[in-house]
Amino acid sequence: MNFDLLTPELGLCGTALLVILADLVVERKTVLAGLSVVGLLVAIGLTLWLWGQGPATAFGGMLVMDQFALFFKLILCGAAILVILSSVDYVSKFPRFQGEYYGLILFSAVGMMLMAATRELVSIYISLELASISLYILAGFLKDHRSSEAGLKYLLLGAVASAVLLYGMALVFGFSGTTHLDKIAGMVGSLEGLGANPGLLLGIVLMVAGFGFKIASVPFQMWVPDVYEGAPTPITAYLSVASKAAGFAVILRVFITAFGEPAWLSQNWGMLFAILSALSMTVGNVVALAQGNIKRMLGYSSIAQAGYLMVGLAAVGRGPGDFIGQSSILFFLASYALTNLGAFIAVIAISNKVDSDLIDDYSGMARRAPLLALALAFCLISLTGIPPTAGFVAKIYIFYAGIKQDLLWLVITGVINSVISAYYYLRVVRVMYLGAPAAEEGVPSSGALRTALGLCSLGVLVLGIVPGVLIGVAEAVKFLMP
């Protein structure tokens, strides 16, 4: 057993335990955030070290350490760092539980990192539950009415989704006699048509439903608006980025490795994701138009963004040997992480001051906090897909992948939905710049929050102007195939 491959996860587990213990003896609670960030930076360093070691497997092939897994580990650790930095101001709402808060973020990151690195169904499920249980607790961490409702809804609906996913895995296991993705691929490759094994196809559909809950895809998105509104805002940001990234990582791993062949099977699940993509884009953007709460608006925006990402999944299904679909998803996820975290970090700072998440209460914010308003406006422009931002390049890239696989109808749907989204994104910008301020006092924020927001905004700008480096990395990332 090669425990060297688990060093990033083991390091984060140790850091989480250290943070919880330090909370008992340390009076300056900002030290806990510092310890968490240091642990995540060490995990990033260990991940980069593993990148240079080459692909390898451990635990009988259950754990794989290839460039694909390591790429997602870097995204997840980076997202966790930005969320922790943005939480330094927010944790004053629960001063007695800061150690548990940071510890749960780290434990959820461990689960999501393992999701990207496992290729065995039981291990995938255990990793998913490690991440999910931590997030269920974090969603209800404020312990007020809305937060408790968010935590309970997330727990109950998540439990149903997990049961559906597990039932789908059981059907796949029943057909193939194995839970290893590479061995499942060997059994599936002998099928000769849709009617060859209805039980297997039902298992695949149920797995799509279970994973669809994780990425907030229609029609499995019912938890998003209430959970996003009620959860602590840094956790909402974390859910919108890290959970989605881990979900897409495990979907790519499972469907390319286990169900990439025969061609008729991959084309059918590709078309299933294309239909879910069109539905997610349309429902997410249309319902977002009517939202007056910025967290709910960004929640429906997250559903729409999942739809754009599934254009890449549909392209992968129609051409499993064409890596443009996969690399476009990787680039989109990295860009979306920076963009959405930047938007939420600005929301954290502004909402802490005005004590409201209503868009109307952001009126005149450009005069009270010009830099915060500029950063939020820039990130919303990126989510719309307007140059020169990372979001613009990401949409062009993923739409190109769709066109290359003859999904022009889906790309046209995506373009129309991008135009629709401009209304509600730019409405926030209009309120901040053209509305009258309710007060003249500024909006204070900690240095940690400003650092996180600055990093996000700079990343969105750099990827919008010079995206070539990250595109090159995304195109170079490969699976360790069986």
The number of CA neighbours under 13 Å toward the Cβ of 304 is 32
pLDDT of 478: 75
pLDDT averaged over every residue in the chain: 87
Q: For residues 251 and 300, give the distance between their C-alpha atoms in angstroms, rounded to a whole number.
A: 21
Per-residue pLDDT at 79 exceeds 80: yes
Pairwise CA distance, residues 284 & 299, whole Å: 8
Angle at 246 between CA 310 and CA 392, to 5 degrees: 45
Can you tell me the distance from the alpha carbon of 63 to that of 72, in angstroms, rounded to the nearest whole number? Answer: 14
pLDDT confidence bin for 195, thresholds 50/70/90:
low
Return the pLDDT at 119: 87
Q: What 3-state DSSP class applies to 189?
A: coil
CA distance 267 to 314: 8
pLDDT value, residue 462:
92
**Cα separation, 402 vs 341, whole angstroms:** 26
Q: Is the pLDDT of residue 318 over 90?
A: no
- For residue 192, pLDDT over 80 is answered with no
Interatomic CA distance for residues 354 and 340, integer angstroms: 21
Confidence (pLDDT) at 60: 79
Closest C-alpha among 80, 90, 187, 92 to residue 135: 80
Dist. CA 445–CA 456, nearest whole Å: 16
Task: Give the per-residue pLDDT at 378.
Answer: 92
Average pLDDT over residues 5-21: 89
For residue 281, the model assigns a pLDDT of: 93
CA distances from 261 to 12, 310, 440, 456 (A): 36, 19, 62, 39
Backbone dihedral angles phi then psi of residue 52, each to the nearest 5 degrees: -80, -10
Find out whether 134 and 104 touch, Cβ atoms under 8 Å.
yes
Residues 68, 117, 163: CA angle, nearest 5 degrees: 125
- Range among 191-200, 223-232, 387-396, 431-440 rated most confident: 387-396
* Mean pLDDT of all residues in 297-303: 91
219 upstream amide cis, omega within 30 of 0: yes
Average pLDDT on 262-272 reads: 84
* Cis check: omega of the bond before 320, within 30 degrees of 0: no
Q: How confident is the model at residue 55 (pLDDT cuts 50, 70, 90)?
A: confident
Least confident of 94-98, 156-160, 426-430: 94-98
Lowest mean per-residue pLDDT among 228-237, 254-263, 276-285, 466-475:
254-263
The Cα–Cα gap between 273 and 286 comes to 20
> pLDDT value at position 218?
86
Contact 173, 138 (CB under 8 A): no
- Does residue 481 carry a pLDDT above 60? no
Picking from 120-134, 243-257, 374-388, 425-439, which range would have the lowest pLDDT averaged per residue?
425-439
Residue 196 pLDDT exceeds 70: no
Amino acid of residue 199: G
* Rounded CA Rg of the chain: 21
Task: Give CA torsion, residues 161, 164, 170, 171, to 10 deg.
Answer: -140
The 10 Å CB-count burial string (b at 16+, else e) for 236-249 is bbbbbbbbbbbbbb
pLDDT tops 90 at residue 42: yes
**DSSP helix/strand/coil, 293:** strand
Q: Is the pLDDT of residue 479 over 70?
A: no
Between CA 128 and CA 130, with CA 81 as vertex, the angle to 5 degrees is 15
Which comes out higher in pLDDT, residue 191 or 409?
409
Residue 292: which region, alpha, beta or left (left: phi > 0; alpha: psi -120 to 50)? alpha
Contact by Cβ (8 Å): 379, 342: yes
Which helix (H) or strand (E) element contains residue 108? Answer: helix 98-117
Q: How confident is the model at residue 182 (pLDDT cuts 50, 70, 90)?
A: confident
Which one is predicted more confidently, 97 or 478? 97
Confidence of residue 440 (pLDDT cuts 50, 70, 90): confident
Report d(CA 36, CA 16) in Å as an integer.
7
Tell me the average pLDDT across 413-425.
92
Mean pLDDT of the region 85-108 = 86
Residue type, 157: L
Tally of CB atoms within 10 A around 177:
9
- CA 188 – CA 162 distance, rounded (Å): 24
- Residue appearing with tokens 């999904």: 407
**H and E: helices and strands count for the chain:** 20, 2
